[in-house]
Chain A
Amino acid sequence: MLAAAVIVFRESLEAALVIGIVAAATRPISGRIWWIALGAFAGIVGSIGVAEVAQSIAQLAGGYGQELFSAVVLALAVAMLAWHNVWMASHGRQMAAQARELGCSVVRGEAALTAIATAVALTVLREGSETVLFLGGIASSAGSTRFALAAGGALGLVAGAAAGVLIYAGLLRVPVRQLFGVTGWLILLLAAGMAGQCARVLIQADLLPALVSPLWDTSKWMPDNSAVGTLLHALMGYQAQPSGTQVLFYLAALVLIFVAMRRAQSRSAQSPSAA
């Protein structure tokens, strides 16, 4: 039962944290809850669909369909999060000012919300389809352990969701003046982590060289399956034994998105009238 709880918890944690963070990041945008909920719903429906055809996907591309599918989903999620951050960089100051004056949910931002909803859907889809397959396996298994496993799975899901609620509640305590700076950094790290994961699946399918494997080994003092390691993995793509290429992708995404954010910010500062 505990093993089932841990598996489902690990799979749902990243999606829950992404949802919690983007919900806080888009706080002053009206209608954001509906967009995020729509993204999550689409992700869940998509997960069931993907789980259904997972075996066919796996057989594509000479047996590396799974990896290519994951890589595309991850790359799109990175692009969506990057887009959101760039949008926020050019609108953040105005949003913070309006949020202070008028309270929440006042700014129009359909473009940012579309990006956010898509990123949420993709994140849920990626981890969700594995969870569906795991739980589906349990449902089809016979015996008395079936209910214990199902209960464990439910427990893991609740724990994952709780982590998302927790980070959202924590971010709401950050003063609005600093909130978008904090969420911008969190989303930047999420995106970099996903870029590293994208490299990982492409290396696994031999579409990219690993270069050095592992580049470093911190598994002695912070193992991947420890509580802190798990949290840091979900939040910022921590891995105890990453390959060189993964680290390159991570850093490249970090720098590229950061530079794009800076450029958008300075452009909006030069022409404050452009909303």
Chain B
Amino acid sequence: MTAQVLIRKLLPVLLVAACAPALADDPEFTLQLREHRFTPSEVKVPAGAKVRLVIDNQDGTVEEFDSFALNREKLVFPNSKGTVFIGPLKPGRYEFMGEFNQSTAKGVVVAE
């Protein structure tokens, strides 16, 4: 039964993954993280399109990019970059934060 459940669950994933389009064409936006602050703290992205959001962590500490509104959570290691795909989004404001430094690391994605 386990194998059956596993196959039922994984097979669609693998099929869709195999059909997923090439990664290169999606518009890309970069957020710099320095001294636990995002620059820019407000990033405008097109609504209705999938977007690559690159978090460039220039701090010497690990950060977790976190957004309830965007449903995203990603560890970004010291002096390295992390990419999350967001969207296609409905028009609106989507707040995000660096979970480990919430008092300063805040921002918003504006889809329009």
Are B68 and A3 interface neighbours, CB within 8 A?
no
| Measured CA separation A49–B86 after assembly (Å) | 30
Are A208 and B13 interface neighbours, CB within 8 A?
yes
| Measured CA separation A224–B70 after assembly (Å) | 12
Partner of B2, one of A63, A83, A208, A242: A83
B88 within 8 A of A: yes
Q: Sorted from nearest, which 5 A-B pairs have the closest CB atoms?
A: A224-B68, A206-B85, A55-B77, A207-B17, A83-B2
Partner of B90, one of A213, A225, A240: A213
Contacts beyond the supplied A86-B1, A133-B62, A213-B87: 10 A-B pairs with Cβ under 8 Å: A7-B99, A7-B100, A78-B9, A79-B2, A207-B13, A210-B88, A224-B68, A241-B69, A243-B71, A256-B9
Encode B6-49 as 1/0 by CB contact (under 8 A) with A: 10111001001100100100100000000000000000000000
| Minimal beta-carbon separation of A199 from chain B (angstroms) | 8
Residues in A neighbouring B16, C-beta threshold 8 A: 207-209
A47 within 8 A of B: no
B residues contacting the other copy or chain, number (CB 8 A)? 41
| Measured CA separation A252–B81 after assembly (Å) | 34
| Measured CA separation A181–B89 after assembly (Å) | 39
Given contacts A7-B100, A137-B61, contact A206 B5 (CB under 8 A): no
Name the CB-closest residue of A to B89. Answer: A213
Name the CB-closest residue of B to A4. Answer: B100
Are B2 and A204 interface neighbours, CB within 8 A?
no
| Minimal beta-carbon separation of A69 from chain B (angstroms) | 11
A195 within 8 A of B: yes
Are B100 and A137 interface neighbours, CB within 8 A?
yes
Given contacts A204-B84, A206-B50, contact A219 B69 (CB under 8 A): yes
Given contacts A75-B9, A130-B64, contact A83 B75 (CB under 8 A): no
Q: Hey, which bits of chain A sit against chain B, CB under 8 A?
A: 3, 7, 54-55, 58, 63-64, 66-67, 71, 75, 78-79, 82-83, 86, 130, 133-134, 137, 140-141, 195, 200, 202-210, 212-214, 219, 223-225, 239-243, 246, 252-253, 256-257, 260, 264
Residues in A neighbouring B64, C-beta threshold 8 A: 130, 134
Residues in B neighbouring A260, C-beta threshold 8 A: 1, 5
Are A75 and B6 interface neighbours, CB within 8 A?
yes
Name the CB-closest residue of B to A57. Answer: B75
| Measured CA separation A58–B84 after assembly (Å) | 12
Partner of A239, one of B2, B61, B71, B99: B71
Are B23 and A213 interface neighbours, CB within 8 A?
no
| Measured CA separation A246–B62 after assembly (Å) | 27
- 25 A-B pairs, CB-CB below 8 angstroms? A3-B103, A54-B77, A63-B81, A66-B74, A66-B75, A82-B1, A86-B1, A133-B75, A134-B100, A137-B61, A195-B9, A204-B71, A206-B50, A212-B88, A213-B86, A219-B69, A223-B68, A239-B68, A239-B71, A240-B69, A241-B70, A242-B71, A256-B5, A256-B9, A260-B5
| Measured CA separation A195–B9 after assembly (Å) | 9
